[in-house]
Amino acid sequence: MYASRMGNLPPYLFARIDEMKAKQRKLGADLIDLGVGDPDLATPPHIVDALCTAARDAKNHHYPDYAGLPAYRSAVAGWYKKRFGVTLDAGKEVLALMGSKDGIAHIAEAFVNPGDYVLVPSPGYPVYRTGTLFAEGKVHEMPLLRENNFVPVLADIPKKVAQAARILYINYPNNPTAAIAPAGFYKEVVDFAREHDIVVISDNAYSEIAYDGYRAPSFLETKGAMEVGIEMHSLSKTYNMTGWRIGMAVGNADVIAGLGRVKTNVDSGVFDAVQHAAITALSGPQDCVKDACAIYQERRDVLVRGLQSLGFDVPLPKATFYVWMPVKDCMAFSGRLLAEAGIVATPGVGFGASGEGYVRFAITRPVARIQEAIGRMRGMDL
């Protein structure tokens, strides 16, 4: 019944985890779900208020501008200037997205011919791979290994693959490893992209979720980056707005135009009232972001210190709301956590073959629940 490209999609591990969760709930288990990469915190009230006001205005009820409201694109450019010192032409170098997943899922359609390679981090956000497969491109996995600080070794990519590659994905702060981009890495990426004529897609969804004074850069701050690529960003993680579906692609005007052309034929833009709320988020006070980071930081400390006290070798992440922990067999480990302790953690292999040997915890639950999880693990023979 289905097209053959459907058969090429990887099995959706997360659907299986959902089934296992449902089974445990039915058995009456009090599950502590540290599996979901979705903030449990609410969207700040001033942003919700802006949506309500805008939703009542009939001029916002029509088809939106495909590229986004000029005022939204200006607000994005203003935020990039203020936050990263990156100058963007709001007319040509900024595109509204229905969340960054929208851009990631569709970009390959504009740049990848059947059989072209796309360079995808493994482990990585699953949509880099599926977007490539929908465009009938070939995925080349770049392993993110602990001994390399979870950055790909570009020199390890076979020459033939690099020559036939059209897109390179990078994502720092990283999901799922919580790694940050080491100094000098982005410069290496620019040089590599220039040499092989590759479009770089930097996924910077977690730039604002950082700890201990760390400030994540934008890829576009790097000299030459604007010539070779774009950055996908989003309000989802920064302002607890995952359900609102709003983000942005920014950077090289030709790449933005290519993505925009695909999207013009797929969707009809982001609801104007949501864009008005996003303007308020980006242009208004940013204390809400600081407050959220303080909450995550406390949870991070409780979880990581707890895991360390149980004998696990797990570092304190500087950014993202994930903890990436080495284990022997990720499926067996997460299966036992769920069955014996009612704790949901994501097996690393769900993010790609090189995720084997790890589980990912999301600190998207209150401190008391994280303490409870550590207590339950203490009772297990791990």
Ligand X SMILES: *Cc1c(COP(=O)(O)O)cnc(C)c1O
Interface residues with ligand X (CB under 6 A) are 37, 99-101, 125, 171, 175, 203, 205, 234, 236-237, 242, 247
C-beta of 101 vs 140, nearer to ligand X: 101
> Could you tell me the smallest distance in angstroms from the CB atom of residue 15 to ligand X?
18
Mark 331-353 as b/e (b = at least 16 C-beta within 10 Å): bebbebbbeebbbbbbbbbbbbe
- Residue 172's Cβ-count burial label (10 Å; 0-12, 13-18, 19+) is buried
> Could you tell me the smallest distance in angstroms from the CB atom of residue 99 to ligand X?
3
> Could you tell me the smallest distance in angstroms from the CB atom of residue 27 to ligand X?
30
C-beta of 306 vs 324, nearer to ligand X: 324
For residues 226 and 169, what is the distance between their CA atoms, to the nearest angstrom? 15
C-beta of 36 vs 339, nearer to ligand X: 36
C-beta of 105 vs 190, nearer to ligand X: 105
**Can you list the alpha helix ranges (DSSP code H) found in the chain?**
4-8, 13-26, 45-55, 70-84, 100-111, 126-134, 159-163, 185-196, 225-228, 253-264, 272-283, 287-309, 330-341, 367-378
For residues 80 and 379, what is the distance between their CA atoms, to the nearest angstrom? 47
Residue 297 makes CB contacts below 8 A (sequence gap 6+) with: 211, 212
C-beta of 178 vs 198, nearer to ligand X: 178
State both tokens at 45: 């009230």
**Can you list the alpha helix ranges (DSSP code H) found in 94-183?**
100-111, 126-134, 159-163
C-beta of 99 vs 342, nearer to ligand X: 99
C-beta of 168 vs 341, nearer to ligand X: 168
> Could you tell me the smallest distance in angstroms from the CB atom of residue 234 to ligand X?
3
C-beta of 37 vs 258, nearer to ligand X: 37
Q: Closest Cα to residue 360, out of 11, 13, 35, 38?
A: 35
For residues 233 and 218, what is the distance between their CA atoms, to the nearest angstrom? 10
For residues 25 and 6, what is the distance between their CA atoms, to the nearest angstrom? 31
Interior angle at CA 344, CA 145 and CA 377, nearest 5: 90
For residues 210 and 192, what is the distance between their CA atoms, to the nearest angstrom? 28
C-beta of 363 vs 377, nearer to ligand X: 363
> Could you tell me the smallest distance in angstroms from the CB atom of residue 37 to ligand X?
5
> Could you tell me the smallest distance in angstroms from the CB atom of residue 143 to ligand X?
17
Q: Which residue is nearest to ligand X (CB)?
A: 99
For residues 108 and 166, what is the distance between their CA atoms, to the nearest angstrom? 9
> Could you tell me the smallest distance in angstroms from the CB atom of residue 203 to ligand X?
5
> Could you tell me the smallest distance in angstroms from the CB atom of residue 106 to ligand X?
12
- Residue 169 · residue 100 · CB < 8 Å: no
Q: Closest Cα to residue 297, out of 324, 320, 325?
A: 320
> Could you tell me the smallest distance in angstroms from the CB atom of residue 39 to ligand X?
10
C-beta of 180 vs 374, nearer to ligand X: 180
> Could you tell me the smallest distance in angstroms from the CB atom of residue 204 to ligand X?
9
Q: Which residue has tokens 């097996």?
A: 347
